[in-house]
Amino acid sequence: MSTLTQADVELASNLIKNANNIVITSHKSPDGDAVGSSLGMYHILKEFGKDAQVILPDGLPEYLSFLPGSESIIFFDQQPEVSNKFIQEADLIFSLDYNVLHRTGEEMGVALSASKASFILIDHHQQPGSFPAVTYSDTSACSTCEMVYNFSQHLDPSYVLGKNAAECVYCGIMTDSGSFRFPSVSPHTHRVVAMLIENGLDHAAIHRAVYDTNLLDRLKLIGYALSEKLVVWEELMTAVLPLTAEELVRFNHRPGDTEGLVNQALSIKGVKVAVFIREGKNELKFSFRSKGGFDVNSFARNGWNGGGHINAAGGRTTESMEIALQRLKEELSQVSDLIKKS
Protein backbone atom coordinates (compact mmCIF):
# COMPACT_ATOMS: atom_id res chain seq x y z
CA MET A 1 0.00 0.00 0.00
CA SER A 2 2.77 2.42 0.95
CA THR A 3 5.67 3.53 -1.22
CA LEU A 4 7.65 4.62 1.84
CA THR A 5 10.80 2.62 2.51
CA GLN A 6 12.16 2.03 5.98
CA ALA A 7 14.99 4.42 5.12
CA ASP A 8 12.40 7.08 4.19
CA VAL A 9 10.61 6.59 7.49
CA GLU A 10 13.83 6.87 9.49
CA LEU A 11 14.91 10.00 7.59
CA ALA A 12 11.48 11.63 7.97
CA SER A 13 11.41 10.80 11.67
CA ASN A 14 14.85 12.35 12.19
CA LEU A 15 13.97 15.45 10.16
CA ILE A 16 10.86 16.01 12.29
CA LYS A 17 12.66 15.30 15.54
CA ASN A 18 15.49 17.75 14.79
CA ALA A 19 13.38 20.49 13.19
CA ASN A 20 12.91 23.76 15.06
CA ASN A 21 10.79 25.57 12.46
CA ILE A 22 8.29 23.46 10.50
CA VAL A 23 6.09 24.85 7.73
CA ILE A 24 3.22 22.95 6.12
CA THR A 25 2.15 23.91 2.60
CA SER A 26 -0.37 22.85 -0.03
CA HIS A 27 -1.51 23.91 -3.49
CA LYS A 28 -3.22 27.01 -4.83
CA SER A 29 -7.03 27.14 -4.59
CA PRO A 30 -6.99 24.59 -1.75
CA ASP A 31 -9.77 22.01 -1.64
CA GLY A 32 -10.89 19.66 1.10
CA ASP A 33 -7.92 17.34 0.70
CA ALA A 34 -5.39 20.18 0.64
CA VAL A 35 -6.82 21.88 3.73
CA GLY A 36 -7.60 18.61 5.50
CA SER A 37 -4.13 17.15 4.97
CA SER A 38 -2.41 20.40 5.99
CA LEU A 39 -4.41 20.83 9.18
CA GLY A 40 -4.35 17.10 9.84
CA MET A 41 -0.54 17.12 9.67
CA TYR A 42 -0.50 20.26 11.84
CA HIS A 43 -2.46 18.51 14.60
CA ILE A 44 -0.49 15.27 14.25
CA LEU A 45 2.79 17.14 14.68
CA LYS A 46 1.38 18.94 17.71
CA GLU A 47 0.44 15.58 19.22
CA PHE A 48 4.02 14.46 18.52
CA GLY A 49 5.23 17.50 20.48
CA LYS A 50 6.20 19.69 17.51
CA ASP A 51 4.97 23.15 16.52
CA ALA A 52 4.25 23.97 12.89
CA GLN A 53 2.79 26.75 10.77
CA VAL A 54 0.38 26.09 7.89
CA ILE A 55 0.87 28.46 4.93
CA LEU A 56 -1.51 28.20 1.98
CA PRO A 57 -1.18 30.17 -1.27
CA ASP A 58 -4.67 31.68 -1.05
CA GLY A 59 -7.96 31.52 0.82
CA LEU A 60 -9.86 28.37 1.61
CA PRO A 61 -13.56 27.83 0.80
CA GLU A 62 -15.82 29.03 3.60
CA TYR A 63 -17.34 25.57 4.00
CA LEU A 64 -13.96 24.33 5.26
CA SER A 65 -13.54 27.05 7.88
CA PHE A 66 -15.10 24.78 10.52
CA LEU A 67 -12.01 22.56 10.53
CA PRO A 68 -10.06 22.89 13.79
CA GLY A 69 -6.96 25.00 13.35
CA SER A 70 -8.21 26.84 10.25
CA GLU A 71 -8.03 30.15 12.12
CA SER A 72 -4.25 29.75 12.46
CA ILE A 73 -3.55 29.40 8.72
CA ILE A 74 -1.46 32.11 7.05
CA PHE A 75 -2.35 32.90 3.43
CA PHE A 76 0.57 33.86 1.20
CA ASP A 77 -1.44 36.23 -1.01
CA GLN A 78 -2.71 38.14 2.04
CA GLN A 79 0.49 38.17 4.11
CA PRO A 80 3.45 37.69 1.74
CA GLU A 81 6.06 39.21 4.07
CA VAL A 82 5.03 37.10 7.05
CA SER A 83 4.80 34.00 4.84
CA ASN A 84 8.24 34.60 3.35
CA LYS A 85 9.73 34.99 6.82
CA PHE A 86 8.33 31.65 7.97
CA ILE A 87 9.55 29.93 4.78
CA GLN A 88 13.02 31.49 5.00
CA GLU A 89 13.41 30.44 8.64
CA ALA A 90 12.02 26.93 8.15
CA ASP A 91 14.31 23.94 8.45
CA LEU A 92 11.57 21.48 7.42
CA ILE A 93 8.73 22.02 4.94
CA PHE A 94 5.88 19.62 4.22
CA SER A 95 4.56 19.65 0.64
CA LEU A 96 1.07 18.14 0.78
CA ASP A 97 -1.28 17.33 -2.10
CA TYR A 98 0.96 18.78 -4.82
CA ASN A 99 3.80 17.31 -6.82
CA VAL A 100 5.77 20.35 -8.05
CA LEU A 101 6.45 23.68 -6.37
CA HIS A 102 4.81 25.87 -9.00
CA ARG A 103 1.43 24.42 -8.03
CA THR A 104 1.59 26.71 -5.00
CA GLY A 105 1.47 29.73 -7.33
CA GLU A 106 4.24 31.74 -8.93
CA GLU A 107 5.28 33.87 -5.93
CA MET A 108 4.99 31.18 -3.27
CA GLY A 109 6.71 28.72 -5.60
CA VAL A 110 9.68 31.09 -5.91
CA ALA A 111 9.88 31.44 -2.13
CA LEU A 112 9.79 27.68 -1.62
CA SER A 113 12.40 27.12 -4.35
CA ALA A 114 14.78 29.49 -2.55
CA SER A 115 14.33 27.76 0.80
CA LYS A 116 17.25 25.87 2.31
CA ALA A 117 14.86 23.65 4.30
CA SER A 118 14.46 19.92 3.80
CA PHE A 119 11.17 18.94 2.17
CA ILE A 120 8.87 16.01 2.89
CA LEU A 121 6.38 15.43 0.07
CA ILE A 122 3.15 13.50 0.65
CA ASP A 123 1.01 13.39 -2.47
CA HIS A 124 -1.07 11.15 -4.74
CA HIS A 125 -0.64 12.98 -8.07
CA GLN A 126 1.47 11.61 -10.90
CA GLN A 127 5.07 12.60 -11.65
CA PRO A 128 6.33 14.08 -8.35
CA GLY A 129 9.24 16.52 -8.54
CA SER A 130 12.76 15.77 -7.37
CA PHE A 131 13.00 18.53 -4.74
CA PRO A 132 12.05 16.61 -1.53
CA ALA A 133 14.43 14.84 0.84
CA VAL A 134 11.61 12.36 1.45
CA THR A 135 9.03 11.56 -1.20
CA TYR A 136 5.91 9.64 -0.23
CA SER A 137 4.05 9.32 -3.52
CA ASP A 138 1.18 6.89 -4.05
CA THR A 139 -1.02 7.52 -7.09
CA SER A 140 -3.34 4.70 -6.04
CA ALA A 141 -4.34 6.49 -2.84
CA CYS A 142 -7.76 8.16 -2.93
CA SER A 143 -6.50 11.23 -1.09
CA THR A 144 -3.48 12.85 0.46
CA CYS A 145 -5.33 12.73 3.78
CA GLU A 146 -5.35 8.93 3.64
CA MET A 147 -1.60 9.11 3.06
CA VAL A 148 -1.13 11.51 5.99
CA TYR A 149 -2.85 8.92 8.18
CA ASN A 150 -0.54 6.21 6.79
CA PHE A 151 2.49 8.46 7.36
CA SER A 152 1.55 8.94 11.02
CA GLN A 153 1.32 5.17 11.47
CA HIS A 154 4.76 4.71 9.93
CA LEU A 155 6.18 7.21 12.41
CA ASP A 156 4.47 5.48 15.34
CA PRO A 157 2.32 2.37 14.77
CA SER A 158 0.73 2.81 18.21
CA TYR A 159 -0.34 6.41 17.54
CA VAL A 160 -4.09 7.15 17.57
CA LEU A 161 -5.21 10.38 15.92
CA GLY A 162 -6.74 12.89 18.30
CA LYS A 163 -10.14 14.47 17.65
CA ASN A 164 -8.85 17.49 15.74
CA ALA A 165 -6.51 15.51 13.50
CA ALA A 166 -9.19 12.89 12.83
CA GLU A 167 -11.77 15.48 11.74
CA CYS A 168 -9.34 17.07 9.28
CA VAL A 169 -8.15 13.76 7.84
CA TYR A 170 -11.69 12.44 7.44
CA CYS A 171 -12.81 15.63 5.68
CA GLY A 172 -10.08 15.26 3.06
CA ILE A 173 -10.76 11.57 2.51
CA MET A 174 -14.51 12.18 2.17
CA THR A 175 -14.24 15.11 -0.26
CA ASP A 176 -11.46 13.75 -2.48
CA SER A 177 -13.12 10.35 -2.79
CA GLY A 178 -16.47 11.85 -3.84
CA SER A 179 -17.98 10.59 -0.59
CA PHE A 180 -16.33 7.19 -1.15
CA ARG A 181 -17.67 6.59 -4.67
CA PHE A 182 -14.57 7.07 -6.84
CA PRO A 183 -12.58 4.06 -8.15
CA SER A 184 -9.55 5.11 -6.08
CA VAL A 185 -11.39 4.15 -2.86
CA SER A 186 -9.88 0.92 -1.57
CA PRO A 187 -10.54 -1.50 1.28
CA HIS A 188 -7.72 0.29 3.09
CA THR A 189 -9.61 3.60 2.75
CA HIS A 190 -12.59 2.10 4.56
CA ARG A 191 -10.34 0.57 7.21
CA VAL A 192 -8.79 3.98 7.91
CA VAL A 193 -12.21 5.59 8.22
CA ALA A 194 -13.47 2.75 10.39
CA MET A 195 -10.51 3.28 12.71
CA LEU A 196 -11.30 7.00 12.98
CA ILE A 197 -14.97 6.30 13.75
CA GLU A 198 -14.09 3.62 16.30
CA ASN A 199 -11.99 6.20 18.11
CA GLY A 200 -14.84 8.68 18.39
CA LEU A 201 -15.05 10.61 15.10
CA ASP A 202 -18.51 12.07 14.39
CA HIS A 203 -18.41 11.47 10.63
CA ALA A 204 -22.00 12.63 10.08
CA ALA A 205 -21.16 16.04 11.55
CA ILE A 206 -18.30 16.47 9.07
CA HIS A 207 -20.59 15.59 6.16
CA ARG A 208 -23.21 18.08 7.33
CA ALA A 209 -20.64 20.85 7.72
CA VAL A 210 -19.32 20.34 4.18
CA TYR A 211 -22.45 19.50 2.19
CA ASP A 212 -25.42 20.88 4.13
CA THR A 213 -24.39 24.51 4.62
CA ASN A 214 -25.24 26.01 1.23
CA LEU A 215 -25.98 29.70 0.84
CA LEU A 216 -28.86 30.72 -1.42
CA ASP A 217 -26.49 32.41 -3.90
CA ARG A 218 -24.57 29.15 -4.37
CA LEU A 219 -27.72 27.15 -5.08
CA LYS A 220 -28.86 29.79 -7.58
CA LEU A 221 -25.45 29.68 -9.28
CA ILE A 222 -25.58 25.89 -9.56
CA GLY A 223 -29.12 26.03 -10.92
CA TYR A 224 -28.15 28.65 -13.49
CA ALA A 225 -25.04 26.76 -14.55
CA LEU A 226 -26.89 23.48 -15.08
CA SER A 227 -29.97 24.97 -16.75
CA GLU A 228 -28.42 27.73 -18.86
CA LYS A 229 -24.74 26.95 -19.49
CA LEU A 230 -24.39 23.18 -19.69
CA VAL A 231 -23.67 21.95 -23.22
CA VAL A 232 -23.38 18.31 -24.33
CA TRP A 233 -21.29 17.44 -27.38
CA GLU A 234 -23.02 14.14 -28.02
CA GLU A 235 -20.68 13.03 -30.81
CA LEU A 236 -17.76 13.41 -28.38
CA MET A 237 -19.62 12.00 -25.37
CA THR A 238 -18.56 15.17 -23.56
CA ALA A 239 -20.37 17.69 -21.36
CA VAL A 240 -18.96 21.21 -21.05
CA LEU A 241 -19.93 23.78 -18.45
CA PRO A 242 -18.33 27.26 -18.93
CA LEU A 243 -18.89 30.17 -16.53
CA THR A 244 -17.65 33.69 -17.19
CA ALA A 245 -16.32 36.11 -14.60
CA GLU A 246 -19.42 38.28 -15.04
CA GLU A 247 -21.69 35.33 -14.29
CA LEU A 248 -19.71 34.43 -11.19
CA VAL A 249 -19.95 38.00 -9.91
CA ARG A 250 -23.69 38.05 -10.62
CA PHE A 251 -24.19 35.19 -8.16
CA ASN A 252 -21.71 36.49 -5.55
CA HIS A 253 -19.35 33.60 -6.19
CA ARG A 254 -17.04 32.56 -3.35
CA PRO A 255 -14.21 29.99 -3.33
CA GLY A 256 -15.74 26.52 -3.31
CA ASP A 257 -19.13 27.52 -4.73
CA THR A 258 -18.55 25.59 -7.96
CA GLU A 259 -17.06 22.55 -6.23
CA GLY A 260 -18.64 19.38 -7.62
CA LEU A 261 -20.26 21.00 -10.69
CA VAL A 262 -18.05 19.07 -13.06
CA ASN A 263 -19.12 15.79 -11.45
CA GLN A 264 -22.77 16.65 -12.02
CA ALA A 265 -22.00 17.17 -15.70
CA LEU A 266 -20.20 13.81 -15.78
CA SER A 267 -23.26 12.09 -14.30
CA ILE A 268 -25.26 12.60 -17.53
CA LYS A 269 -26.13 9.32 -19.21
CA GLY A 270 -23.90 8.74 -22.23
CA VAL A 271 -21.28 11.27 -21.15
CA LYS A 272 -17.75 9.97 -20.57
CA VAL A 273 -15.87 13.28 -20.27
CA ALA A 274 -16.89 16.46 -18.45
CA VAL A 275 -15.14 19.82 -18.49
CA PHE A 276 -15.90 22.74 -16.17
CA ILE A 277 -14.38 26.08 -17.22
CA ARG A 278 -14.22 29.04 -14.87
CA GLU A 279 -13.04 32.46 -15.98
CA GLY A 280 -10.65 34.03 -13.49
CA LYS A 281 -8.23 36.91 -13.48
CA ASN A 282 -6.44 36.86 -16.85
CA GLU A 283 -6.98 33.13 -17.35
CA LEU A 284 -9.45 30.29 -17.67
CA LYS A 285 -9.28 27.42 -15.19
CA PHE A 286 -10.35 23.92 -16.24
CA SER A 287 -11.56 20.90 -14.31
CA PHE A 288 -11.50 17.67 -16.34
CA ARG A 289 -13.29 14.48 -15.31
CA SER A 290 -13.74 11.15 -17.08
CA LYS A 291 -15.37 7.78 -16.69
CA GLY A 292 -13.54 4.58 -17.55
CA GLY A 293 -10.09 4.60 -19.07
CA PHE A 294 -9.86 7.95 -20.85
CA ASP A 295 -6.81 9.69 -19.35
CA VAL A 296 -7.66 13.33 -18.64
CA ASN A 297 -4.33 13.70 -16.85
CA SER A 298 -2.45 13.25 -20.13
CA PHE A 299 -5.02 15.37 -21.98
CA ALA A 300 -4.58 18.21 -19.48
CA ARG A 301 -0.79 17.96 -19.52
CA ASN A 302 -0.50 17.89 -23.31
CA GLY A 303 -2.63 20.88 -24.15
CA TRP A 304 -3.85 22.71 -21.08
CA ASN A 305 -0.86 23.40 -18.79
CA GLY A 306 -2.18 21.04 -16.15
CA GLY A 307 -2.39 17.49 -14.90
CA GLY A 308 -3.65 15.41 -12.02
CA HIS A 309 -5.09 11.89 -12.09
CA ILE A 310 -6.31 9.58 -14.86
CA ASN A 311 -9.97 10.42 -14.18
CA ALA A 312 -9.59 13.88 -12.62
CA ALA A 313 -7.29 16.70 -13.65
CA GLY A 314 -7.02 20.46 -13.92
CA GLY A 315 -5.67 22.91 -16.45
CA ARG A 316 -5.50 26.55 -17.44
CA THR A 317 -5.08 28.86 -20.42
CA THR A 318 -4.86 32.60 -21.12
CA GLU A 319 -7.00 32.24 -24.23
CA SER A 320 -10.45 33.78 -24.47
CA MET A 321 -13.45 31.60 -23.63
CA GLU A 322 -14.50 31.47 -27.29
CA ILE A 323 -11.09 30.38 -28.57
CA ALA A 324 -10.58 27.91 -25.70
CA LEU A 325 -13.93 26.23 -26.34
CA GLN A 326 -13.15 25.93 -30.04
CA ARG A 327 -9.72 24.42 -29.35
CA LEU A 328 -11.14 22.11 -26.68
CA LYS A 329 -13.65 20.68 -29.13
CA GLU A 330 -10.98 20.23 -31.80
CA GLU A 331 -8.60 18.43 -29.43
CA LEU A 332 -11.35 16.20 -28.07
CA SER A 333 -12.33 15.34 -31.65
CA GLN A 334 -8.77 14.11 -32.23
CA VAL A 335 -9.11 11.62 -29.37
CA SER A 336 -12.80 10.79 -29.84
CA ASP A 337 -12.01 7.15 -30.62
CA LEU A 338 -10.21 6.81 -27.25
CA ILE A 339 -13.16 8.39 -25.46
CA LYS A 340 -15.66 6.03 -27.08
CA LYS A 341 -13.53 2.97 -26.32
CA SER A 342 -13.01 3.91 -22.68
| Strand 134-137 versus strand 118-123 pairing type | parallel
Q: What single-letter amino acid sits at 236? A: L
8 Å CB contact between 127 and 98: no
Choose among 155, 156, 184, 172: nearest CA to 310: 184
Model confidence pLDDT, tens digit, residues 248-299: 999 999 988 998 899 999 999 999 999 999 999 899 999 999 998 999 999 9
Helix (H, G, I), strand (E, B) or coil at 318: coil
Residue 64 has pLDDT above 80, yes or no: yes
Q: What single-letter amino acid sits at 233? A: W
Cβ burial 126-142 (10 Å sphere, 16+ → b, else e): bebbebbebbbbbbebb
If you average pLDDT over every residue of the chain, what do you get?
96
8 Å CB contact between 12 and 39: no
* 194 C-beta neighbours (distance < 10 Å), count: 11
Q: What is the mean pLDDT of residues 153-175?
A: 97
Cβ neighbours of residue 95 under 8 Å, at least 6 residues apart? Answer: 25, 26, 101, 112, 119, 120, 121, 122, 123, 131, 132
Say what the pLDDT of residue 1 is.
Answer: 45
pLDDT band at residue 342 using 50, 70 and 90 as cut-offs: confident
Maximum CA pair distance of the chain?
A: 58
Cβ neighbours of residue 113 under 8 Å, at least 6 residues apart? Answer: 101, 131
Model confidence pLDDT, tens digit, residues 222-239: 999 999 999 999 999 999
* Residue ranges, CATH 3.10.310.30, the chain: 216-341
* Residue ranges, CATH 3.90.1640.10, the chain: 6-211
8 Å CB contact between 135 and 121: yes
3-state per-residue secondary structure call for 259-277? CCHHHHHHCCCCCCEEEEE
Provide the whole-model pTM.
0.89
DSSP 171: H
Residue 202 has pLDDT above 70, yes or no: yes
| Helix ranges, the chain (H) | 6-18, 32-47, 80-89, 106-114, 144-155, 163-176, 187-198, 203-211, 216-224, 245-250, 261-266, 296-303, 321-334, 336-341
Residue 320 has pLDDT above 90, yes or no: yes
Superfamily assignment of 6-211 in CATH? inorganic pyrophosphatase (n-terminal core) (3.90.1640.10)
Q: What is the mean pLDDT of residues 314-339?
A: 96
Percent of all residues in the chain with a pLDDT value above 70, rounded to a whole number: 99
Q: What is the mean pLDDT of residues 118-145?
A: 96
Q: What is the CATH number of domain 216-341?
A: 3.10.310.30
Model confidence pLDDT, tens digit, residues 10-46: 999 999 999 999 999 999 999 999 999 999 999 999 9
What is the C-alpha separation between 136 and 8, in angstroms, rounded? Answer: 8
